[in-house]
């Protein structure tokens, strides 16, 4: 049986914000499996800010993609054909399987997931690499103590929402920054942050200062740019700033100039950039703690799901523009239909 595989490829380097013509939908036949391989029908695709960094002319923290190649991305799916005894048909897995209906993979590229404990989509979010990113950044570089105040930007997003919930679980006050009153309300209500400040509000700086109390001990930075600049004067002495991403700068053709860096000296702050793949040794501990938090209800998972692989480029563009609440996923219907 020859199946048709739809794939979204990287068609053009974006100039600033990616546009739909930066992507192309192509169809190819699914190749026959070799010994040791499995065929995964992808059910959910995760579209994340880091992917934007790989759509550049030059390498940043990861190599750029080659124009014409399938877009990179993590998916969750089901093994529907197998020439590998360890991964029988019906196994649920996640992996970096790309923007496509079907992926041929070997066991080393896949992680099994237990969909009895949590739904498949959670394994791309709070219980997956975004949750682990939040855990690593917060516990290893934020190092919050009970009673401290933890601030996180992109608080309605996949990583930020987990950061605040983990901070609460550690006995901290959690303050978020998000775009728009609705998102801020969502962060307070669904993720139970103590406060969430709207960076689009005209009195953002005043609100951020009012929410700071004695100042922020930890700022988990997902956005960089002017928000980072606004936070610096509100940090407490010896504050820690894990830098997880700079989403406000990914589409910027001219980078923002940060003016308040003297606070790093005045307040003896520590800034630390980190990338999840450097910390594979911590993944088991992170997963165990995230699953415990999920199990006891202190960590909730929310996502925005767009239907159809063909809509993945628009979902990605919208996510970068801040339209998503929680984790932005794409449901891949071909995989559903083929089951």
Residue 60 binding a second copy, by CB under 8 A: yes
Residue 278 binding a second copy, by CB under 8 A: yes
Interface with a second copy by CB under 8 A: which range of 166-174, 255-263, 321-329, 330-338? 255-263
**How is residue 310 annotated by DSSP?**
G
Residue 49 binding a second copy, by CB under 8 A: no
**Whether 152 contacts 174, CB under 8 Å:** yes
Among 20, 61, 63, 284, binds a second copy (CB under 8 A): 61
Among 27, 29, 146, 265, binds a second copy (CB under 8 A): 265
Residue 264 binding a second copy, by CB under 8 A: yes
**Closer residue to a second copy (CB): 80 or 264:** 264
Which residues 6+ apart lie within 8 Å of 211 measured at CB?
175, 195, 197
Interface with a second copy by CB under 8 A: which range of 15-23, 103-111, 127-135, 267-275? 267-275
**How is residue 232 annotated by DSSP?**
G
DSSP per residue, 112-179: E--TTTS-GGGGGTTTSHHHHHHHHIIIIII-PPTT-EEEESSTTBHHHHHHHHHHHHTT-EEEEEES
**Whether 203 contacts 106, CB under 8 Å:** no
Interface with a second copy by CB under 8 A: which range of 17-25, 211-219, 239-247, 312-320? 239-247
Residue 255 binding a second copy, by CB under 8 A: yes
Here the tokens at position 331 are 């449901």
Interface with a second copy by CB under 8 A: which range of 249-257, 287-295, 303-311, 314-322? 249-257
Report the C-alpha gap between 12 and 102 in whole angstroms: 23
Interface with a second copy by CB under 8 A: which range of 6-14, 188-196, 203-211, 244-252? 244-252
Residue 143 binding a second copy, by CB under 8 A: no
Here the tokens at position 51 are 């992917």
Residue 244 binding a second copy, by CB under 8 A: yes
CB of 166 to a second copy, least distance (A): 20
Which residues 6+ apart lie within 8 Å of 107 measured at CB?
36, 38, 84, 86, 87
**Whether 144 contacts 167, CB under 8 Å:** yes
Calculate ∠ Cα 13-19-23, nearest 5°. Answer: 65
**Closer residue to a second copy (CB): 50 or 294:** 50
Residue 270 binding a second copy, by CB under 8 A: yes
Residue 200 binding a second copy, by CB under 8 A: no
Interface with a second copy by CB under 8 A: which range of 79-87, 197-205, 241-249, 325-333? 241-249
Query: Footprint of a second copy on residues 218-237 (CB under 8 A)?
Result: 224, 228
Residue 269 binding a second copy, by CB under 8 A: yes
**Whether 99 contacts 70, CB under 8 Å:** yes
Report the C-alpha gap between 234 and 200 in whole angstroms: 18
Residue 142 binding a second copy, by CB under 8 A: no
Phi/psi of residue 306, nearest 5 degrees? -100, 135
Summarize as ranges the residues that interact with a second copy (CB under 8 A). 60-61, 224, 228, 243-246, 249, 255-275, 278
């Amino acid at each position: 049986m020859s199946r048709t595989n739809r794939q979204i490829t990287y068609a053009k380097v974006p100039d600033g914000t990616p546009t739909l013509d930066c992507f192309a939908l192509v169809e190819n036949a699914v190749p026959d499996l070799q010994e040791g391989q499995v065929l995964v029908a992808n059910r959910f695709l995760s579209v994340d800010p880091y992917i934007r960094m790989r759509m550049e002319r030059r390498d940043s923290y990861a190599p750029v993609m080659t124009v014409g190649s399938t877009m990179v991305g993590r998916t969750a799916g089901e093994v529907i054909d197998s020439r590998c005894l360890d991964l029988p048909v019906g196994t649920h897995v996640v992996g970096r399987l790309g923007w496509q209906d079907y992926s041929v993979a070997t066991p080393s590229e896949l992680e099994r997931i237990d969909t009895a404990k949590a739904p498949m989509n959670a394994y791309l979010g709070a219980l997956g690499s975004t949750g682990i990113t939040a855990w690593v950044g917060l516990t290893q570089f934020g190092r919050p103590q009970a009673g401290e105040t933890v601030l996180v930007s992109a608080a309605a997003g996949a990583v930020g929402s987990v950061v605040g919930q983990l901070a609460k679980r550690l006995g901290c006050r959690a303050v978020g920054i998000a775009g728009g009153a609705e998102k801020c309300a969502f962060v307070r209500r669904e993720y139970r942050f103590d406060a969430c400040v709207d960076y689009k509000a005209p009195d953002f700086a005043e609100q951020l200062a009012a929410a700071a109390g004695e100042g922020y001990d930890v700022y988990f930075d997902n956005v960089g740019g002017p928000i980072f600049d606004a936070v610096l004067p509100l940090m407490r002495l010896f504050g820690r700033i894990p830098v997880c991403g700079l989403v406000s700068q990914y589409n910027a053709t001219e980078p923002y100039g940060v003016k308040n860096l003297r606070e790093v000296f005045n307040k003896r702050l520590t800034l630390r950039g980190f990338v999840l793949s450097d910390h594979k040794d911590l993944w088991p501990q992170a997963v165990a703690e995230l699953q415990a938090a999920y199990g006891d209800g202190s960590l909730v998972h929310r996502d925005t799901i767009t239907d159809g692989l063909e809509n993945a480029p628009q979902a990605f563009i919208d996510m970068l523009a801040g339209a998503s609440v929680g984790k932005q996923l794409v449901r891949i219907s071909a995989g559903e239909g083929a089951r």
